[in-house]
Structure 1
Amino acid sequence: MSGRLSKFGSAIIGLLLASCQSYSAENSQIAQAAPPPAAEGNYLAQPLISEIYTADPSAHVWNDGRIYIYPSHDIETGVAEDGAGNHFAMRDYRVLSMYKVGGKVTLHDVALDIKDVPWAGRQMWAPDAAYKDGSYYLYSPVKDKSGIFRLGVATSKSPTGPFKAQPQPMKGSYSIDPAVFRDDDGAHYIYFGGIWGGQLQKWATGSYDPNGSESDLGQPGAPAIAPKIARLRGDMLEFDEAPRDILITDEAGKPLLGGDLDRRFFEGAWVFKRDGLYYFTYSTGETHYLVYATGTSPYGPFTYRGTILEPVEGWTTHHSITQHDGQWYLFYHDTQLSGKTHLRNVKVAPLEFDENGQIRTLDPGGK
């Protein structure tokens, strides 16, 4: 399996790096047709909606018991694929909601548009949301006007928006894929980071280096680039501490290495807690797995445990995990509707655990 995937990953990487095209926010609004009907195939799950393309689903169950999903909104832009992901040129967010898995899914109006984010330049990537004291917080990675990814916050009194953006990005923020976790004591933590187009590798020295490597700094035998964590301030708008590295180890306690492509962190962190244990879940990127590690603190260290989801149809996937009515669910995406890596669709499937708390691996099918 790993050999086959490595060849596939290499082919995709070659395709992505083959072309490059400049981009400007002014010409990014290109009309797109509605997604076509879902393709036939033996898929684990079907797309939740087909009106628009959606990806990177962050699912939450708020106080009203409804499931709210905060995805990326993929659009066709005409931007050529490249290694930096410039073809993922999304411009707004639309929230999905449903009373139960398998029930009717509502596609809500625009929750936040890039034109309403004062500091934003381009590319609204995978968001997440949080709730505290009657307010909802939408966290999103967007490139600023100099092309550097920052994390922004927008607020609303409604879980579906519209959200009002803060005038500046979060101080000290960088890279992509924010995921907010609320612990049992009410403290909130934000996890973030993604390499390659997510720019995490460009911050290896503590400041942004535009010439930073597009991989794990060319050191496959060194510890892998670490995802980040910071406790959020009480008002949920800023970090309450400097971001820290998250250590992911093998069962012997040794850090996972940059060359360990089947297990090392690439992007898409998501944390949940079950039976007193913290599950740090993430995507391996070019080998296309969703995997997980466990620990006894929100800060880690986390010990690698196994695979959640085998590779999906498309480049890779980005996920969330939540519980509803006593059942755990995995929300993820693939490219069933379009067959194109930048036009994706959100799905959901039940997630099961064994008696030891190990996650049973899912096969998405469709390949």
Structure 2
Amino acid sequence: MRRGLILLGALAAFATGAAAQDRAPDGRAYRAQPLTTELFIADPSAHVFDGRIYVYGSHDIQGPSADDQPGKGFVMKDYLVLSMDRIGGPVTVHPTALTLSAVPWADRQLWAPDAAFKDGRYYLYFPAKDREGVFRIGVATGDRPEGPFTPEPQPILGAYSIDPSVFVDEDGAAYLYVGGIHGGQLQRWTSGRYDPAAGDTDLNQPEAASLMPKVARLSDDMLTLAEPMRDAVILNEQGQPLKGGDLDRRFFEAAWLHKYNGLYYLSYSTGDTHFIAYATATTPYGPFTYRGRVLLPVQGWTTHHSIVEVEGQWRLFYHDTQLSNRTHLRSAKVVDLHHEADGSIRTIDPFIAPPPIAP
């Protein structure tokens, strides 16, 4: 027991004011530094509300030693919100926005959240496992962007899996995107009902169409679905759905939608291969055509992001394990993102290679 307490104390001390290392273990320099060293915030979903930047994310804490069991070590129990007036400015870590114990239906694992605003109210969307071990999607409301948030007594009917994100279009319509395979359980919903015997992989069907993220329009109250969820289909250049075995391009988790010059950009994590990829469409439902990579692999097993325009410049928020070098203790970062003239996104390397050694 004493050894465990020492480890927890060491991690806490490391994450409270510790200086981040400038270089990765392989010698490459990090392109960006953590937004905060006070605690671990991952899966950053960034938004600009009333001229201020808010970052909603998973609050990583020390849990079971499970770096070799993706998902098992992520035991998050609450949400905290970061905010700043400008990129590069001082970052405020706000008090707890929502706790697991406050959610009547939830049993464990408050994973990656997102937020939205409508008619003077703020909405926090989040996944959690219920008492049967099934990931559901919940929603909580608040009067301020940083919370506190009050959860609805039941999860959103018809929504499931993980990684909720909400896109609000120019006409005010809001769309909920969800989904994650493996630990996110999306593969257990292929029949339309939860099947606990479906396993933890992408169905082991490399030649079949891959599992796709789900999308549904939210009702005007932002608390319920206005329609059943459907596949946000991702196609290859030939117009065929990406296959389950196309690990460099197929969807794994972390769907995010942004709109640029009238085009809808669906970006997502490829999971095992650690890319943030993207596809484009002319509607928020898709189908989306694969276009390329937003972000190359970061340090750490997971990768998760958001894309938002801040002060006239598009930004990519993401996370890595620079501060801890542990899979389940991650830190949020931000870098500039550029759309090219042809609508493509310039691929970002999270590292800066060291200069060549002079002869």
Q: 2:19 is matched with which residue: 12, 16, 37?
A: 37
Q: Helix, strand or coil: the match of 2:95? A: strand
For residues 178 and 162 of structure 1, the distance between their equivalents in structure 2, rounded to whole angstroms, comes to 19
**What does residue 103 of structure 1 align with?**
89
Aligned residue number for residue 162 of structure 1 = 148
Q: Which residue of 1 aligns with 2:357?
A: none
Match of 1:4 in 2: none
Aligned counterpart, 1:202: 188
1:53-98, Cα deviation, whole Å (9 max, x unpaired): 1100000011x21111001100002353454612100000000001
Aligned AA for 1:60? H
Q: Secondary structure at the match of 1:211?
A: helix
Checking the alignment, whether the CA contact within 8 Å between 1:313 and 1:366 is kept in structure 2 is: no
Q: Which residue of 2 aligns with 1:252?
A: 238
Task: Indicate whether 1:58 and 2:45 are aligned.
Answer: yes
Please tell me whether the aligned partners of residues 113 and 127 of structure 2 are also in contact (alpha carbons under 8 angstroms): yes
Query: Using the alignment, how far apart are the partners of 2:62 and 2:85 within structure 1?
Result: 30
Residue 122 (structure 1) shift: 0.2
Q: How many residues align?
A: 337
Matched-pair identity in %: 59
CA distance in 1, matches of 2:185, 2:343: 33
User: Equivalent residue of 1:201, what SS?
Assistant: helix
Q: What corresponds to 1:296 in structure 2?
A: 282
- CA offsets 1:214-243 (integer angstroms, 9 cap, x no match): 211110000000110010011000111000
Q: How much is the aligned-residue C-alpha RMSD, in angstroms?
A: 1.3
CA contact (8 A) 1:279 1:294 kept: yes
**Stretch deviating more after TM superposition (247-256 or 34-43):** 34-43
SS at match of 2:88: coil
Contact 2:137/2:160, CA 8 A, preserved across alignment: yes
Counterpart secondary structure, 1:221: coil
Aligned partners of 1:289 and 1:311 also within 8 Å: yes
1:83 & 1:238 partners in 2: Cα distance?
33
What's 2:263 paired with? Answer: 277
Unpaired runs of 5+ residues, structure 2, are 1-7, 24-28, 354-359
TM-score between the two structures when normalised by the length of structure 2: 0.92
Deviations 1:96-118 (A, max 9, x none): 00111111111100000001001
The answer for the alignment partner of 2:208 in structure 1 is 222
Looking at structure 1, the residues matched to 269 and 70 of structure 2 have their Cα atoms a distance apart, in angstroms, of 17
Give the drift of 1:366: 7.1
Which residue among 100, 103, 121 is the counterpart of 1:117?
Answer: 103
Q: Deviations over 1:14-59 (max 9, x none)?
A: xxxxxxxxxxxxxxxx775141431231111000000001100000
Tell me by how many angstroms 1:316 deviates.
Answer: 2.3
Deviation at 1:203, TM superposition (A): 0.7
- The residue type paired with residue 38 of structure 1 is A
* Offset from partner CA, 1:114-159 (integer Å, 9 cap, x none): 0100111000000000000000000000001111000000000000
Question: Partners in 1 of 2:66 and 2:234 — Cα distance?
Answer: 34
Inter-partner Cα distance in structure 1 for 2:229 and 2:196: 20
Counterparts of 1:251 and 1:326, CA distance in 2: 31
1:173, distance to aligned residue in structure 2 (A) = 1.6
CA distance in 2, matches of 1:67, 1:80: 33
